[in-house]
Amino acid sequence: MSAPQSGRTALVTGGLAAVLASTCCLGPLVLVTLGVSGAWIGNLTALEPYRPIFIGAALVALFFASRRIFRPLPACKPDEVCALPQTRRLYKVLFWIVAALVVVALGFPYVTPFFY
């Protein structure tokens, strides 16, 4: 069981990139909503110039993850983890969760003015 074979590495990379891409905009809103405040929250906007890089990394990672996760079952060898139905289902669910995070990262800056 190797990580690139299963798509796990690409999913983790995509999820991390999506979270980093939304940190500049979504992070302060979530923290203020939870009651956390302070001048340091303004420092989270320092990641804004890197947002396109994070989004690009997330999209590339999702592309590679989708190639591994949604490949036909005959492409999996019988002893590989991708041949197990439970694992395939879990990876598909995780893929769509990460894809939703990327969509939030892409669209949130355009919706942010309605919250502030």
Is the pLDDT reported for residue 2 higher than 50?
no
Look at residue 5 in the predicted model and tell me its pLDDT: 52
Per-residue confidence at 103, pLDDT binned at 50, 70, 90? confident
Q: What is the pLDDT of residues 6-45, one digit of tens each?
A: 567 777 877 777 777 766 666 666 777 777 776 666 666 6
Residues of the domain holding 101: 7-114
How distant, in Å, are the alpha carbons of 17, 18, 48 from that of 51? 9, 9, 5
Domain count, the chain: 1
Torsions phi, psi of 2, nearest 5? -110, 145
HSE value, Cβ hemisphere, 13 Å, CA-based, for 32: 13
Q: Per the domain annotation, does 2 fall within a domain?
A: no
Per-residue confidence at 48, pLDDT binned at 50, 70, 90? confident
Q: Per the domain annotation, does 71 fall within a domain?
A: yes
Look at residue 59 in the predicted model and tell me its pLDDT: 84
Q: Per the domain annotation, does 19 fall within a domain?
A: yes
Instruction: Select the more confidently predicted residue: 39 or 67.
Output: 67
Q: Per the domain annotation, does 88 fall within a domain?
A: yes
d(Cα 82, Cα 85) in Å, to the nearest integer? Answer: 8
Q: Whole-prediction pTM value?
A: 0.63
Q: Per the domain annotation, does 1 fall within a domain?
A: no
Q: Per the domain annotation, does 15 fall within a domain?
A: yes
Q: Per the domain annotation, does 48 fall within a domain?
A: yes
Q: Which pair of tokens denotes residue 51?
A: 């947002």
